[in-house]
Structure 1
Amino acid sequence: MDIPQGVVLAFDFGLARTGVAVGNTLTGTARALAIIDSPTNDARWQGIAPLIEEWQPAFLVVGVPRLGDGTPSTLTARCERFARQLGGRYRKKVFTVDERFSSVEVSCGRDRIDDKAAAVILEQFFREAGTASDSSSLE
Structure 2
Amino acid sequence: MPNIKSAMAFDYGLRWIGCAIGQTITGSASALPALRAKDGIPRWEEIEALLKEWRPDVVVVGLPLNMDGSESEMCQRARKFGNRLHGRFGVRVEFSDERLSSFEARGQILEQEASQDFKAQGVDSLSACVILESWFREHSA
Q: What band does the TM-score fall into relative to the shorter chain?
A: 0.7 to 0.9
Correspondence list, 1:1-139, <5 A: 2-39=1-38, 43-107=42-106, 108=110, 109-112=116-119, 113-130=123-140
Asked if the contact 1:5/1:26 (under 8 Å) is kept, the reply is no
For the aligned residues, what is the CA RMSD? 1.6
- Deviation readout 1:41-83 (Å, 9 max, x if unpaired): 6643122111111001111000010111111122010001111
Task: Give the Cα–Cα distance (whole angstroms) in 1 for the partners of residues 65 and 138 of structure 2.
Answer: 17
The two structures have a TM-score, normalised by structure 2, of 0.85
Distance 1:3 1:40, change over 3 A: farther
What TM-score do the two structures reach when normalised by structure 1? 0.86
| Residues 124 and 50 (structure 1), Cα distance of their counterparts in 2 relative to 1, 3 Å cut | same
Question: For the residues of structure 2 that align with 1:39 and 1:106, how far apart are their CA atoms?
Answer: 23
- The 3 A distance-change label for structure 1 pair 82 and 4 is farther
69-78 or 8-17, larger mean C-alpha shift? 69-78
Identity of aligned residues (%): 38
- Residues of 1 paired with 2:104 and 2:40: CA distance? 27
Which protein has the bigger helix share? 2
Aligned length: 130
- Does the C-alpha gap of structure 1 residues 81 and 4 become closer, same or farther in structure 2, counting only changes over 3 Å? farther
Consecutive unaligned residues of structure 1, counting only runs of 5 or more, are 132-139
Once the two structures are superposed, residues 67-119 of structure 1 have per-residue CA deviations (whole angstroms, 9 ceiling, x without a partner) of 11111122010001111111121111111001010000011323321000000
SS at structure 1 position matched to 2:71: coil
Asked if the contact 1:8/1:60 (under 8 Å) is kept, the reply is yes
Q: Give distance in 1, aligned partners of 2:130 and 2:30.
A: 8
Equivalent residue letter for 1:127: R
